[in-house]
Amino acid sequence: MGAPETDRILVLNAGSSSIKLAVFDDALTECITGMAEAIGGASAIRLGGTHEALPLPDHRTALGALIERLGACGYPLSSFRAAAHRVVHGGASLSGPVRITAKTRAEIASCTPLAPLHNPHHLAAIDSISALAPGLPQYASFDTAFHATNPEVATRYAIPSLPETKGIRRYGFHGLSYASLTRRLPEISGHPLPDRLLAFHLGNGASLCAIRGGRSVATTMGYSPLDGLTMGTRSGGIDANAVLKLVEDNGLARTKEILNQESGLLGLSGGKSDMRRLMQDPSPEAAFAVAHFCYWSLRHAGSLIAAMQGCDAVAFTGGIGENAAEVRARIIAGLDWLGATLDDAANTANAPTLHGPDSRIAVWIVPAEEEREIARNARAILQDNG
């Protein structure tokens, strides 16, 4: 592949049944976005405002179709300076953005047992780009990396150090979201980053992070993204013996399905995982699901505030965090002991600044910009390498 025509960076985020993409120029301005959705099912491609239903049996086929249509929109692979990927799990060794080489690809593959629903799809996207454009540099940013600053007392489970327990520790996730949040909040607020910041990433996947001096010191997700808060379809925290009982009664595969795909808001409400639908549903089951979500957000918030020895500000991000005013109101009402108060009009309008004039702590909305963070990481490595 020859020299690129532009400084554009292609960002890819391969999930379990979808592939999202975004194109950024050298100023990190978003040029176009798209996704292949429902891969293996009623699949379709959305790109630049268009929607096309077509069969996409697997991720390799889906990415090929996306790349073909991206080229037809004026963004051929030859025009990119680099491709950059979100990778959920980097393990203990991959604690920062890297260029993908044979060695780093092998390290990502070695983390597959830690993220079996995610890392194989990331690797498929990496390998597909390698096949389509062998000379195109590729980079990876890891969702676990932001939490590499957690102290060992926060990451180690109270289990013996044995060959059988190798790799079993807390890693934490949503790191790209939290890294972006710490970068964006000073731009939004016009003030330096608060020293003790409690960050809520609330979406279909949900977690909290205690950020002290700009560094993660504790987070709610653990060995996998299953732990912590009540989520869209994930159970959140559950006693290990309860999991063993489920495995004993139902087998491992069925237990994985129950805990990852049938639990959380979906399981509590009897069929709804979308917070917008739950808030409109008058049934007691829907009301309980929302109450459960808010209660456990607050329970974990107290733990993370203790880890920081206080709290100077709260920030919300993610689909629920940015758009569900009532959820934010319930959470901040539960933090009134911190002196937190909302400006109700600002909260209803999803304004960036949410705290009332008498609030003792600041409350903000910070839009999630994970793809831009990935592009920024790749650009930084490219600039460092000349």
**pLDDT single digits (tens) 125-157:** 999 999 999 999 999 999 999 999 999 999 999
> How large is the average pLDDT for residues 328-334?
98
The yes-or-no verdict on residue 5 having pLDDT over 80 is: no
- CATH number of the structural domain 190-370: 3.30.420.40
Q: Phi and psi of 218, rounded to 5°? A: -165, 150
Answer for the pair 233, 262: CB distance below 8 angstroms, yes or no: yes
Query: Span 302-317, mean pLDDT?
Result: 98
Active site residues: 143
* Bridge pairing between strands 80-87 and 8-14: parallel
Distance of alpha carbon 16 from alpha carbon 103, whole angstroms = 24
Indicate the DSSP class of residue 192.
Answer: P
Q: Is the pLDDT of residue 62 over 90?
A: yes
pTM of the model: 0.93
CATH number 3.20.20.70 given to 8-142? no
pLDDT band at 15 (very low <50, low <70, confident <90, very high): confident
Q: What does the pLDDT read at residue 1? A: 47
Helix (H) / strand (E) containing 250: helix 240-250
CA 293 to chain centre: 18
Q: Please state whether 266 falls in left (phi above 0), alpha (psi between -120 and 50) or beta.
A: alpha
Identical fold for domains 8-142 and 190-370, yes or no, is yes
Residue 210 parent element (H or E)? strand 206-212
In degrees, rounded to 5, the angle at the alpha carbon of residue 18 between the alpha carbons of residues 16 and 24 is 125
Token pair, residue 57, equals 């049996």
Instruction: Kindly report, residue by residue over 71-110, the tens digit of the pLDDT.
Output: 999 999 999 999 999 999 998 889 999 999 999 999 999 9
SS3 294: helix
The pLDDT assigned to 354 comes to 98
Q: Any idea where the domains of the chain sit in the sequence?
A: 8-142, 190-370
Nearest to 31 by CA among 50, 15, 47: 47
The mean-pLDDT minimum among 110-114, 169-173, 372-376 falls in 110-114
Give residue 81's pLDDT: 96
Q: Alpha-carbon Rg of the chain, whole angstroms?
A: 21
Residue-wise pLDDT tens digits, 349-368: 999 999 999 999 999 999 99
Check whether 232 has a pLDDT greater than 80. yes
Per-residue pLDDT band at 44 (split at 50, 70, 90): very high
pLDDT above 70 coverage of the chain, percent: 98
- Overall average pLDDT of the 212-234 stretch: 96
Please give the backbone phi and psi of residue 216, each rounded to the nearest 5 degrees, phi first. Answer: -70, 130
Residue 2 has pLDDT above 60, yes or no: no
pLDDT at 168: 93
